[in-house]
Homo-oligomer: A and B are copies of this chain.
């Protein structure tokens, strides 16, 4: 039998990446276009066009998976709400499968990153694992008994919206919560805390950067910390304190074998990982306090890999 190929599409707020993947994580076809500024209708057109193009390049591809940064109903393939894109209350799966002419599944981008890591990456071999993707917000994925767990209708696994401070600040975007870990340890939050630290400590490397007119984001905080700047390492340690506390709740609940941290913020590597691990060792119930916390193996390509893998898994279920 020939190797089965499936199409994976990863729709983000700024770009759409599409790939065709065989029996493993390597793409045999890849494309990338901007997704910025499209209306709801135009985004669906863009997705259909790019997936059709991938199919023309690899005619043997038998199914498509699409990752979108949204709360969604997995069973119906319906997007409920998104933060960075105009996809509200839209039957994405139905619209796409009609136009593409292939079995299509959609899922949340963080679930797909979890799937990629569980099948091919840092959680390979684990039956119980969690993933947090640290970017603009914090996404979550849950791996239980060799399958993604999404809640009753696929809207769960929102691990960025675990509350760590009961009377903390209002959360971002469409979340009505207060004190969610996303408000303390996302890239957005770390950038904001970096700007506050720059103001508080004008003589720090962060302060000098700000005075020189440089914008301060999580990226600048990371490079200043790598250079040994105390203001910047303080910001990262504080984010680690909050993120580690969320992981305390999560390991007490799930007793996972491993927690994988991914997303752009993880370019910080051990600068963030170490305070997170310390918090977990110190505060979680035994034996959960020994849970491994590791960096993701995949970067931005996780979305395409996971989406293609999901398309294959769902197709096999139907057989």
Contact = CB atoms under 8 A, between A and B. Distances in A.
Interface of A: 71, 80-81, 127-128, 140, 142, 144, 149-159, 161-166, 174-178, 241-242, 245-246, 248-257, 282-289
Contacts of A288: 151, 155-156, 158
A77 to B, nearest CB: 16
A253 B285 contact: no
A287 B80 contact: yes
Contacts of A161: 248-249, 252, 285
Given A81-B286, A166-B245, A177-B284, A158 B252 contact: yes
Contacts of A156: 251-255, 288
A256 B287 contact: no
**How many of these chains are in the complex?**
2
A142 to B, nearest CB: 8
Contacts of A158: 252-253, 285, 288
Contact of A163 (B128, B157, B178, B245): B245
A178 B127 contact: no
Contacts of A251: 156
A163 B80 contact: no
Nearest to A126: B152
A177 B283 CA distance: 4
A175 B286 CA distance: 8
A284 B163 CA distance: 10
A287 B178 contact: no
Nearest to A80: B287
Contacts of A155: 255, 285, 287-288
